[in-house]
C-alpha cells in the first residue's frame, strides 16, 4: 500500500470502530517495549523494518482483542486492541 493511501485506511477503520464486534483474545504480559509489524514478515526481520509500530504500553497484563472491519466493496481489515487487566 502506498503511503498516501494510509489516510484512507485510517478513515475506513475509524468509521468501522463503532460497530466492530470484538473477539476476546489471549492474555499477555509485558515488561518492556513491544514491536508490531505486518504478519507477512518473519519475526527475525522485526529489528530491520522501517514500517513498524512501537505501542506505548506500560508493563503489565493485557488481553489482545481482535475485530474485522469489512466495508462494502473495499478491502477488509483485521484490527487489534490491548485491554489492560488489573
Specify the number of domains making up the chain: 1
Mean pLDDT along residues 5-14: 77
pLDDT digits (tens, 9 = 90+) for 16-45: 999 999 999 999 999 877 877 777 766 666
Please report the pLDDT score of residue 1 as a whole number.
Answer: 45
Better pLDDT: 12 or 50: 12
Please report the pLDDT score of residue 49 as a whole number.
Answer: 62
What is the rounded CA–CA span in Å between residue 9 and residue 14? 9
Contact 11, 56 (CB under 8 A): no
The helix/strand/coil state of 20 is coil
Over 90: is that where the pLDDT of 73 sits?
Answer: no
Please report the pLDDT score of residue 64 as a whole number.
Answer: 95
| φ, ψ dihedrals at 70, nearest 5° | -130, 75
pLDDT digits (tens, 9 = 90+) for 44-72: 666 666 677 778 888 999 999 999 998 88
Count CA within 13 A, CB hemisphere, residue 72: 0
Amino acid at each position: 500500500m502506498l503511503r498516501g493511501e494510509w489516510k484512507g485506511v485510517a478513515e475506513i477503520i475509524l468509521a468501522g470502530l463503532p460497530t466492530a464486534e470484538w473477539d476476546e483474545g489471549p492474555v499477555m504480559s509485558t515488561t518492556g517495549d513491544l514491536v508490531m509489524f505486518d504478519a507477512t514478515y518473519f519475526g527475525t526481520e522485526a529489528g530491520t523494518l522501517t514500517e513498524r509500530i512501537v505501542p506505548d504500553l506500560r508493563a503489565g497484563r493485557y488481553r489482545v482483542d481482535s475485530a474485522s472491519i469489512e466495508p462494502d466493496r473495499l478491502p477488509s481489515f483485521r484490527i487489534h486492541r490491548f485491554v489492560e487487566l488489573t
